[in-house]
Chain A
Amino acid sequence: MVAEDPRVGGGRTPGRAAFWNDRDVRAVLYQVLLVLGIGAVAWYLIHNTLANLAARNIATGFGFLGRESGFPIGESLIAYTPANTYLRALLVGLLNTLKVASIGVVLATIWGTLLGVARLSSNWLIRQLASWYVEALRNTPLLLQLFLWYAILQGLPAVRQAFNPLPGIYLSQKGLVFPVIALEPVHAVMAALFVVGIGLSWWWAGRAKAHQNATGQIRPVLLPSLGLIVGLPVIAWLIAGAPFEPDVPVLRGFNFQGGAAISPEFTALLFGLVVYTASYIAEIVRAGIQAVPRGQSEAARALGLPAGRILRLIVLPQALRVIVPPMTSQYLNLTKNSTLAVAIGFPDILSTINTSINQTGQPIECIAIVMVVFLIVSLSISAFMNWYNARIRLIER
């Protein structure tokens, strides 16, 4: 609050300091100067870079994205040939990264939680095995672990001597191939009904819980949900005449034709990332469970609740508040560690970007693309986890 001093100001609005001493004016002035300063630095960097690039006759701009890429990509979720553009190649790499990251996050969470609970087990052997696992995997570099898994997978038999555990399923050093059902139009309808079924069972579970809160009566939830999720697609399939065209892999020439395949590169990367990140998640889960005061579970036992209900209704909701923030870091770590795919030959986004850099000779644009992509992916994960964290937060008085 500016003191009301009639002597200051000499004729201007009484009580206000001189223009250059005014706190508000100064605040705005400093901010404007800072923005101008940052802008000047940025302008200098950009100008310097562009001048250097021009002097070296290096091409700039994002025009290369529309050019034919010319290089092959080993596996992709969408159709891709070397005749497609660089943009499509980068999209294929991005989808591969998202595939590894999403499956990896889910599996790592499940396996990590199991490990974390195992470390708190009353059984000495289970507790020790879990401890050794966590210590061994946390303290060795991930890249070496990936090389190890990849080398192990290369030790599988050659294609001609592939393992054949079940008819149509073959396991060899070129990957795991298994039969799939050829796509029919009814499958789209089935997928839609699957989603509808999930939505309906969610709604039913909400209704049953509200009913239980109001009257204390328990309505069945599990069986009706299963019925909706599984039954609706099956009914659609039966109505369509039950089409069933299996696509069985057959060894022809160098490899199996037909069916679907999981490559050893993908398996090695996924497995390596999951077992490594799970060791960190195990520690986070253990910390969360131990953070819940012992009195909580003792009181629950005194009330006669069985162990499963104690974990689900009392311990985990409180533990989650401690677990979720560090979990965000682990999910982001897993996503970023997936770029180690470059070392074992899985074509993720960094691998395709590296090839693009080399073929186009424009490292700045390509690195900028991959940085922006990872920024968006990571911010999305963080945003989702922060929303979830806010939802389960303790509402303090």
Chain B
Amino acid sequence: MRQGWLGMLAVTLAAGSMVASTGAIAGTLDAVKQRGELACGVSTGVTGFSAPDAQGKWSGLDVDVCRAVAAAIFGSGDKVKFLPSTAQQRFPMLQSGEVDLLARNTTWTLSRDTENGFNFAPVTFYDGQGFLVPTKLGVKSAKELNGATVCVQPGTTTELNLADYFRANKMTFKSVVISELNELEAAFVSGRCDVYTTDASGLASFRAARSGNPGAFMILPERISKEPLAPTVRQGDDQWFDIVKWTVYALIQAEESGITQANVEEMKKSDDPGIKRMLGVTPGMGKMLGLDEEWMVNAIKAVGNYGESFERNVGEGSPLQLKRGLNDLWTRGGLMYAMPLR
């Protein structure tokens, strides 16, 4: 930590903002229990991941992770307060303690894991960055985009990957960078930009739900980066990190073990010792995490297992119609692999 004279000056000028946030380092679980609900940072409205409906009820893959964690702690998936954040607000919100868990299409990268002081729970969605173009432009590949104007949100890995890709392929582009997602998408639909780039799931979500005319847009085949989306917590609180991590693993393991939202009560009567341990019939794991022994039962009752959540929010049962692909279980060729719950 270099604390030159300039550093001291900078900190003096802006130090007031940090005075209030002492003490939230360890003890997030206690703070959440005291508050009575989980403060969950979500997006401002990405269909399939975290979006409010007309009555203000939030749903999506990320929302389900938050509900599962809340159910594991409190027994009910409704004890969550959703705080929407733009791509630029999300990290200060987590760093300052305003939210306990950030489930917001956030890519797991080295710099975020180290410099920002975050820890990442297991990946809930393996994604890649893609390009969306109007079909009438007649472009078939990302290599034909030299000189294009690209709409992108600021403060994202998307922005950096875009610059890297065009540099690597010796192409130039002009960027239109707007932080409000609605304004950005309006600029793309109006034709101000030729290309819209974000994670392929975000493109599918926009095309299906917000573009107004899905047939007029096509996603180009190239995926120019790896974007593993994972829930994020602050460093320095291992117990909280473990709770979030193992809740996610629980959802994945439930699918692998055949436990669904409908049959979880029945599965408690199973003879399989592994399932008895997971569902708390054989006590022990809840206590190790600092939670109720029914933590996994409550989580699955709230949102179902990972496969059910996927299909409901972004899969065949949703407007996005995404295939499982990399997000399938390891037994079926995908990357979803829960660590042993024992």
Q: Is the pair B175, A361 in contact by a Cβ cutoff of 8 Å?
A: no
Closest Cβ of chain A: how far from B181's Cβ, in Å? 12
For A362, give the chain B residue with the smallest CB separation. B115
Q: Is the pair A174, B192 in contact by a Cβ cutoff of 8 Å?
A: yes
Most buried by B among A151, A345, A371: A345
Q: Is B19 an interface residue (CB 8 A)?
A: yes
Given known A48-B19, A345-B177, A361-B116, contact A72–B10 (CB-CB < 8 A) = no
Contacts of B234 in A (CB 8 A): 56
How many chain A residues have a CB neighbour from B under 8 Å?
A: 63
Q: Is the pair A62, B4 in contact by a Cβ cutoff of 8 Å?
A: yes
Most buried by A among B22, B117, B156: B117
Q: Is the pair A253, B147 in contact by a Cβ cutoff of 8 Å?
A: yes
Q: Is the pair B236, A57 in contact by a Cβ cutoff of 8 Å?
A: yes
Most buried by B among A83, A151, A358: A358
Bound together, the chains give a CA A364 to CA B17 distance in angstroms of 9
Q: Is the pair B6, A52 in contact by a Cβ cutoff of 8 Å?
A: no
Contact of A61 among B7, B22, B111 (CB under 8 A): B7
Contact of A173 among B25, B146, B163, B191 (CB under 8 A): B191
Q: Is B179 an interface residue (CB 8 A)?
A: yes
Contact of B155 among A72, A154, A257, A357 (CB under 8 A): A357
Bound together, the chains give a CA A173 to CA B173 distance in angstroms of 16
Q: Is B167 an interface residue (CB 8 A)?
A: yes
Q: Is the pair B147, A257 in contact by a Cβ cutoff of 8 Å?
A: yes
Q: Is the pair B176, A265 in contact by a Cβ cutoff of 8 Å?
A: yes
Bound together, the chains give a CA A235 to CA B176 distance in angstroms of 43
Q: Is the pair B175, A58 in contact by a Cβ cutoff of 8 Å?
A: no
For A62, give the chain B residue with the smallest CB separation. B6
Q: Is the pair A361, B15 in contact by a Cβ cutoff of 8 Å?
A: no
Bound together, the chains give a CA A62 to CA B3 distance in angstroms of 9
How many chain B residues have a CB neighbour from A under 8 Å?
A: 65
Q: Is B18 an interface residue (CB 8 A)?
A: yes
Closest Cβ of chain B: how far from A27's Cβ, in Å? 27
Q: Is the pair A255, B16 in contact by a Cβ cutoff of 8 Å?
A: no
Contact of A56 among B95, B111, B191 (CB under 8 A): B95
Contacts of A372 in B (CB 8 A): 13
Given known A58-B117, A363-B92, contact A48–B112 (CB-CB < 8 A) = no
For A356, give the chain B residue with the smallest CB separation. B155
For B184, give the chain A residue with the smallest CB separation. A345
Given known A54-B1, A369-B10, contact A72–B162 (CB-CB < 8 A) = yes
> 1/0 per residue A189-212: CB within 8 Å of B?
000000000000000000000000
Bound together, the chains give a CA A354 to CA B19 distance in angstroms of 22
Bound together, the chains give a CA A61 to CA B186 distance in angstroms of 38
Contact of A48 among B22, B95, B192 (CB under 8 A): B22
Bound together, the chains give a CA A218 to CA B214 distance in angstroms of 74
Q: Is the pair B154, A371 in contact by a Cβ cutoff of 8 Å?
A: no
Q: Is the pair A361, B117 in contact by a Cβ cutoff of 8 Å?
A: yes
Bound together, the chains give a CA A46 to CA B3 distance in angstroms of 11
Bound together, the chains give a CA A354 to CA B91 distance in angstroms of 12
For A365, give the chain B residue with the smallest CB separation. B10
Contact of B160 among A70, A73, A361 (CB under 8 A): A70
Q: Is the pair A361, B149 in contact by a Cβ cutoff of 8 Å?
A: no
Q: Is the pair A155, B190 in contact by a Cβ cutoff of 8 Å?
A: yes
Q: Is A60 an interface residue (CB 8 A)?
A: yes
Contacts of B173 in A (CB 8 A): 72
Contacts of B8 in A (CB 8 A): 46
Q: Is the pair B115, A355 in contact by a Cβ cutoff of 8 Å?
A: no
Closest Cβ of chain B: how far from A222's Cβ, in Å? 44
Contacts of A264 in B (CB 8 A): 192
Q: Is the pair B88, A83 in contact by a Cβ cutoff of 8 Å?
A: no
Most buried by A among B149, B174, B192: B192
Given known A173-B190, A254-B147, contact A344–B178 (CB-CB < 8 A) = yes
Bound together, the chains give a CA A52 to CA B162 distance in angstroms of 34
Q: Is the pair A359, B192 in contact by a Cβ cutoff of 8 Å?
A: no
Q: Is the pair B25, A56 in contact by a Cβ cutoff of 8 Å?
A: yes
Closest Cβ of chain B: how far from A160's Cβ, in Å? 10
Q: Is the pair B19, A45 in contact by a Cβ cutoff of 8 Å?
A: yes
For A51, give the chain B residue with the smallest CB separation. B22
Contacts of A63 in B (CB 8 A): 2
Bound together, the chains give a CA A342 to CA B86 distance in angstroms of 13
Q: Is A351 an interface residue (CB 8 A)?
A: yes
Contact of B174 among A55, A74, A343 (CB under 8 A): A74
Contacts of B163 in A (CB 8 A): 70-72, 82
> 1/0 per residue A130-164: CB within 8 Å of B?
00000000000000000100010011001000000
Bound together, the chains give a CA A54 to CA B148 distance in angstroms of 43
Contacts of A73 in B (CB 8 A): 175, 177
For A45, give the chain B residue with the smallest CB separation. B15
Contacts of B25 in A (CB 8 A): 55-56
Given known A52-B21, A57-B117, A355-B154, contact A62–B149 (CB-CB < 8 A) = no
11 A-B pairs with CB atoms under 8 Å apart are A52-B22, A82-B164, A253-B146, A255-B147, A345-B187, A354-B155, A355-B159, A358-B156, A360-B115, A365-B7, A368-B10
Closest 3 CB pairs of A and B: A358-B155, A361-B116, A368-B10
Q: Hey, which bits of chain B sit against chain A, CB under 8 A? A: 1-4, 6-19, 21-22, 25, 87-88, 91-92, 95, 111-112, 114-117, 145-149, 154-156, 159-160, 162-164, 167, 173-180, 183-184, 186-187, 190-192, 194, 234-236
Known: A255-B149, A355-B154. 20 other contacts (CB 8 A): A45-B11, A45-B15, A45-B19, A46-B11, A48-B22, A58-B116, A58-B117, A62-B6, A63-B2, A70-B159, A71-B160, A74-B174, A75-B174, A83-B167, A147-B183, A173-B191, A253-B146, A254-B149, A345-B176, A357-B92
